[in-house]
Amino acid sequence: MPTLATWNINSVRLRLPIVIDFLDQFQPDILCLQEIKCQNDQFPRKALEEKGYIHQAVHGQKGYHGVAILSKTPLTEISSRGFCDIPESRHISAMTDFGHGPVTVHNFYIPAGGDEPDPETNPKFRHKLDFLAEMSEWFDDLVFDARQIICGDFNIAPHENDVWSHKQLLKVVSHTPVETDALNGLLARRNWVDLVRQHIPIEEKLYSWWSYRAKDWDAADKGRRLDHIWATRDVAAKATNAQVVRPARGWSDKPSDHVPVIVGFGS
């Protein structure tokens, strides 16, 4: 079955062994990575080629951020866009056909936003809101007669069942109303479908990130759903299942704090 996955890997070089494990076990056609934390020439191209991901679109930078698309099928029209006039690597896109016709895949790493949810006092939060506003404008210019997928680490948990405690997180960056309203506005703007919630009921608690700071992330289970896969309606009509790979939070003694999210598209 054609599948697409997204995973904030928090250093692709440090965690190459568990990326390989994931690819071996799940064999996605496409894997979108965020926070690769390396420059383009430091990306472990060869090891991933050897796993069959011979098509790679990498947009790295030194030390922080950075995104990449790994694919078994050819990638064309590879492109990255800057946001907020800041030279950070937070987006890369490519066109491919991994089973149901050509589709453009956009891989995003939306800014985290710092600690204080006040754009007047916290420039990082200002940046996050500006980034979302610019995404919204950019959506208006996207050609929507083509099939599109947008995925990545959006750093926002939009629904109350996307966090462990809605009440306790209302003033915590990632779940404040100004952020969730902005993300829901983006979703509605061009009729995107949240493929994960299309297949996993909104009544069910669902997380893709757990802090490193908890002593026992599994027992505490204070997670948030920050990682998303959206698609245009024509693509969404082909999606048949979604899963969040929760066990990956415990893979190796050095896991990422995010786990992979996967969507399957028919037989």
Give the residues across from 244 on adjacent strands: 261
Say whether 109 is catalytic.
Answer: yes
**Residue 10 found at the interface with DNA (CB under 7 A):** yes
176 binds DNA (CB under 7 A): no
> Quick check: helix, strand or coil at residue 166?
helix
* Residue that the structure tokens 């899963």 belong to: 243
Residue 3 β-bridge partners = 264
What is the token pair recorded at 132? Answer: 């979302």
Q: How many residues bind DNA (CB under 7 A)?
A: 34
CB of 234 to DNA, least distance (A): 31
Q: Is 115 annotated as a binding residue?
A: no
Q: Which of 53, 91, 153, 175 is catalytic?
A: 153
Q: Does 11 bind DNA (CB under 7 A)?
A: yes
Tokens of 264: 């399957």
Answer for which of 72, 197, 249, 258 binds DNA (CB under 7 A) is 258
By CB under 7 A, tell whether 86 contacts DNA.
no
Binding track, positions 144-173, relative to DNA; x by CB under 7 A: ---------x-x------------x----x
Question: Which residues are 103's β-sheet partners?
Answer: 96
CA distance 174 to 128: 10
Q: How many CB atoms lie within 10 A of CB 120?
A: 8
Is 155 annotated as ligand-binding? yes
* 164 within 8 A of 210, measured Cβ to Cβ: no
258 is catalytic: yes
The phi and psi torsions of 142 (rounded to 5 degrees) equal -65, 145
Q: Which residue has the tokens 């692709």?
A: 12
Cα 138 versus chain centre, distance: 18
> Which of 208, 257, 259, 262 is in the footprint of DNA by CB under 7 A?
257
153 given a catalytic annotation: yes
Using rule CB under 7 A, residue 212 touches DNA: yes
Single out the residue of 59, 91, 197, 224 in contact with DNA (rule: CB under 7 A).
224
With vertex at residue 141, the alpha carbon angle to CA 137 and CA 94, rounded to the nearest 5 degrees, is: 105
Give residues with Cβ within 8 angstroms of 137, minimum separation 6.
none
Residues 24-43 that bind DNA (CB under 7 A): 35, 37-39
Ligand-binding site membership of 257 (annotated): yes
Strands 227-231 and 103-109, sheet pairing = unpaired
Token pair 């750093």 is at which residue? 155
CB 6 within 8 Å of CB 227: yes
Q: Quick one: which segment of 44-52, 61-69, 177-185, 241-249 binds DNA (CB under 7 A)?
A: 61-69
Please identify, among the stretches 72-80, 95-103, 110-118, 192-200, the one whose residues bind DNA according to the rule CB under 7 A. 110-118
Q: Which one of 23, 70, 93, 111 is in contact with DNA (CB under 7 A)?
A: 111
What letter would DSSP give residue 136? H
| Residues that are catalytic | 109, 153, 258
Residues making up the annotated binding site for Mg(2+) are 8, 35, 153, 155, 257-258
> Which residues are at the interface with DNA (CB under 7 A)?
8, 10-11, 13-14, 35, 37-39, 62-65, 111-115, 124, 153, 155, 168, 173-174, 209, 211-214, 224, 226, 254, 257-258
